[in-house]
Structure 1
Amino acid sequence: MENAKNELELIKKYQAKGYSHNFRVVDNRLIDNTTKKKFEAKDIKVVAEHRFEGMSNPSDMSILYVIKMGNTKGTFLASYGSAADTEVAEFFNTIPKENISNDKNILM
């Protein structure tokens, strides 16, 4: 991006815009860590994504998904490449293409 030096900096900027929920993937569902509400892939709208490479090791790669489901908005940070969690990668691959925005940055 942009002006963010790392993932945490960018997450904080999104949190300030209301994307404050954090999630985990379990049994092919996205679960809100606070409310424990479960979401199916078809219910998720990816409004932006950001990819990062490790500064000291370029193979340390991550992707920050900025997502919303109705009034629930938040971020999900996932590893990709050789360090990827296959359950997470498979789940995000099942989100319908029409639910994925082409926006790379909604902070501007």
Structure 2
Amino acid sequence: MDNKFPKHEKNLIEKYQDKGYTANFYFKSGKLVASESKVEFSPKEVYITGEHRYEGMSNPSDLSILYVLKTENGEKGTFLQAYGPNADPEAASFFKEIPEENISDKADLNLK
């Protein structure tokens, strides 16, 4: 699939923010945490509605993935994570534990 957006995560994050995905999330102690509300989420409470993978422009081994998320309480936002050799194994495990039925591409801007 062709990516019709710039090859930098920041540009895509801004496009999602324009669509209402304004929450920022971070990973701490086995939970995904909303930066502003400080609400913690387990994998079952998170829905992936889009994802984008990136290679570093100057170093192809710099790999990242941008998750577009919605939570059980309705917060919508993004989470940027390294993947490949630089991935945080606990965060990677969290995203692998998200139930398959909670994963879709309905917010993926590349499909619109």
In the aligned structure 2, how far is the partner of 1:73 from the partner of 1:3?
20
1:80 aligns with 2:86: no
Partner of 1:41: 43
Partner of 1:93: 96
Report the secondary structure of 1:22's partner residue. strand
Deviations 1:33-53 (A, max 9, x none): 111011111011100000000
C-alpha contact (below 8 Å) 1:50/1:104 kept by paired residues: no
Report the secondary structure of 1:89's partner residue. helix
C-alpha contact (below 8 Å) 2:25/2:35 kept by paired residues: yes
- Among 58, 71, 74, the residue aligned to 1:71: 74
Report the secondary structure of 1:91's partner residue. helix
In the aligned structure 1, how far is the partner of 2:52 from the partner of 2:59?
18
| Displacement after TM superposition at 1:106 (Å) | 3.2
Report the secondary structure of 2:16's partner residue. helix
C-alpha contact (below 8 Å) 2:68/2:107 kept by paired residues: no
C-alpha contact (below 8 Å) 1:51/1:64 kept by paired residues: yes
C-alpha contact (below 8 Å) 1:47/1:106 kept by paired residues: no
Q: Which stretches of structure 1, 4 residues or more, deviate above 6 A after TM superposition? A: none
1:15 aligns with 2:22: no
| Unpaired stretches in structure 1, ≥5 consecutive residues | none
The amino acid across from 1:95 in the alignment is I
TM-score norm. by structure 1 comes to 0.93
